[in-house]
């Protein structure tokens, strides 16, 4: 073969190698892009915390289709929960729940003492008997809250609170339900939820599934209105 021919063959080979390399690069990029897409899909699934499990079988007040869902994780023995229920909750009810902006859920996170669980059993029993009576009983227990360091949330005390509040439940049945721990599964389910959402203190609020930091009602309102706007934008995008 002449030198000229040799060079031509060599150039042709180089061209082929270059094309093959280009094809390989494109194929690799495609594989990487698909893999990245899959990872993003998995991530977006696992970070979507605002799932139905958070609200299932929980006491709720407000409109079920409100754009924002607030979840309180609370312990009836926790003084900060009492403060929240007496000071902030009425404003939440008036400005956010009654206006249709938010619905409000309560989940037990009884961690302060064994009588936290007794109180949890009591509210779950009232909820099972008469869901509508839940919120009056919830407030009444916080109103009657004793010293955090004592085991004040006894069955007798919880029955006394139910009687004094005149909630529309059969108190004999309520006593039986507390003593026989009829609703223990509900309390345990709540605890599992608290663990899953990494709740470490009370009261903790989730706004559309996201934990928020708050000092007072204004912080809560701001978070709720922001969540409402985000939800609105999401709904618009779907149209």
The residues that touch Ca ion, with contacts defined as CB under 5 A, are 58, 186, 190
Residues 135, 74, 198, 43, Cα dihedral to 10° = 20
Structure tokens at 70: 């607030």
Nearest approach, Cβ of residue 141 and Ca ion (Å): 14
Q: With respect to Ca ion, which residue has the nearer C-beta, 140 or 225?
A: 140
Nearest approach, Cβ of residue 211 and Ca ion (Å): 18
Nearest approach, Cβ of residue 36 and Ca ion (Å): 39
Q: With respect to Ca ion, which residue has the nearer C-beta, 165 or 186?
A: 186
Q: With respect to Ca ion, which residue has the nearer C-beta, 117 or 186?
A: 186
Dist. CA 190–CA 116, nearest whole Å:
13
Which residue lies nearest Ca ion, judged by its C-beta? 190
Q: With respect to Ca ion, which residue has the nearer C-beta, 183 or 228?
A: 183
Structure tokens at 32: 């990487």
Q: Note whether 239 and 111 are within 8 A (CB).
A: no
Nearest approach, Cβ of residue 185 and Ca ion (Å): 10
- Residue 58 — left, alpha, or beta (φ > 0 → left; ψ -120 to 50 → alpha)? beta
How many Cβ atoms from other residues are within 10 Å of residue 106's Cβ? 22
């Amino acid at each position: 073969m002449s030198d000229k021919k040799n060079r031509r063959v060599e150039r042709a080979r180089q061209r082929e190698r270059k094309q093959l390399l280009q094809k390989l690069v494109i194929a690799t990029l495609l594989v990487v892009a698909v893999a990245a897409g899959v990872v993003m899909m998995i991530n977006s699934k696992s970070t979507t915390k605002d799932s139905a499990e958070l609200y299932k079988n929980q006491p709720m007040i407000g409109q079920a289709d409100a754009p924002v869902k607030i979840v309180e994780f609370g312990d009836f023995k926790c003084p900060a929960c009492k403060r929240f229920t007496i000071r902030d909750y009425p404003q939440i009810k008036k400005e956010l729940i009654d206006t249709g902006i938010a619905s409000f859920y309560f989940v037990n996170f009884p961690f302060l003492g064994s009588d936290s669980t007794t109180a949890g059993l009591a509210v779950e029993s009232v909820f099972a008997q008469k869901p509508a009576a839940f919120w009056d009983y919830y407030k009444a227990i916080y109103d009657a809250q004793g010293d955090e360091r004592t085991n004040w949330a006894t069955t007798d005390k919880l029955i006394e609170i139910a009687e004094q509040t005149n909630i529309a439940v059969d108190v004999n049945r309520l006593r039986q339900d507390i003593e026989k721990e009829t609703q223990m599964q509900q309390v345990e389910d709540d605890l599992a939820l608290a663990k899953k959402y990494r709740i470490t203190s009370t009261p903790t609020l989730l706004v559309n599934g996201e934990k928020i930091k708050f000092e007072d009602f204004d912080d809560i309102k701001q978070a709720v209105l922001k969540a409402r706007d985000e939800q609105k934008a999401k709904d618009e995008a779907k149209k």
